[in-house]
Amino acid sequence: MAGMGPHPAVADVRRAVRLALGDLRPGELVLAACSGGADSLALAAALGFEAPRAGLRAGLLTVDHGLQEGSADRAAEVVRLAPRLAIGLAEALTVSVGTSGGPEAAARQARYAALSRAAERLGAAAVLLGHTRDDQAETVLLRLARGSGTRSLAGMPARAGIYRRPLLGLGRATTVAACAALGLIPWDDPHNLDARYTRVRVRERLLPALEREIGPGVAEALARTADLCRDDADALDAWADAVYARAVQAAGDAQDCALSDIETGGPVVRVAVREIADLPAAVRRRVLRRAAVEAGAPSGTLSAAHILQVDRLVTEWRGQRRIEVTGGIGVVRRYGTLIFARQPASPVS
Annotated binding residue 88: no
* Residue type, position 155, single letter: G
- Coil, helix or strand at residue 163: strand
State the CB neighbour count (10 A cutoff) for residue 300.
Answer: 9
Cβ-Cβ contacts under 8 Å for 342 (sequence gap 6 or more)? 264, 265, 266, 295, 296, 328, 329, 330
Question: Cα 297 to the chain's mean position, in Å?
Answer: 19
> Is 35 marked as binding a ligand?
yes
Strand order from edge to edge, sheet including 323-324: 269-272, 337-341, 330-334, 323-324
- In contact, 186 and 36? CB cutoff 8 Å: yes
Which ranges in the chain belong to alpha helices (H)?
8-20, 38-53, 71-81, 103-122, 133-145, 150-153, 172-182, 198-201, 207-214, 218-254, 281-294, 304-315
Sheet holding 159-160, edge to edge: 89-94, 57-64, 29-33, 126-128, 163-164, 159-160
- Residue 36 assigned as binding residue: yes
Q: Residues 71, 64: contact at Cβ < 8 Å?
A: yes
The C-alpha atoms of residue 158 and residue 129 are separated, in whole angstroms, by 9
Reduced 3-state DSSP string for 127-138: EECCCCHHHHHH
| Residue 231 annotated as binding site | no
75-100 core/surface letters (b: 16 or more CB in 10 A; e: else): beebbebbeebebeebbbbebebeee
Q: According to the annotation, is 169 in a ligand binding site?
A: no
How far apart are alpha carbons 33 and 61 in whole angstroms?
5
39 labelled binding-site residue: yes
Helix (H, G, I), strand (E, B) or coil at 36: coil
Binding residue positions for ATP: 35-40
- Residues belonging to the binding site are 35-40
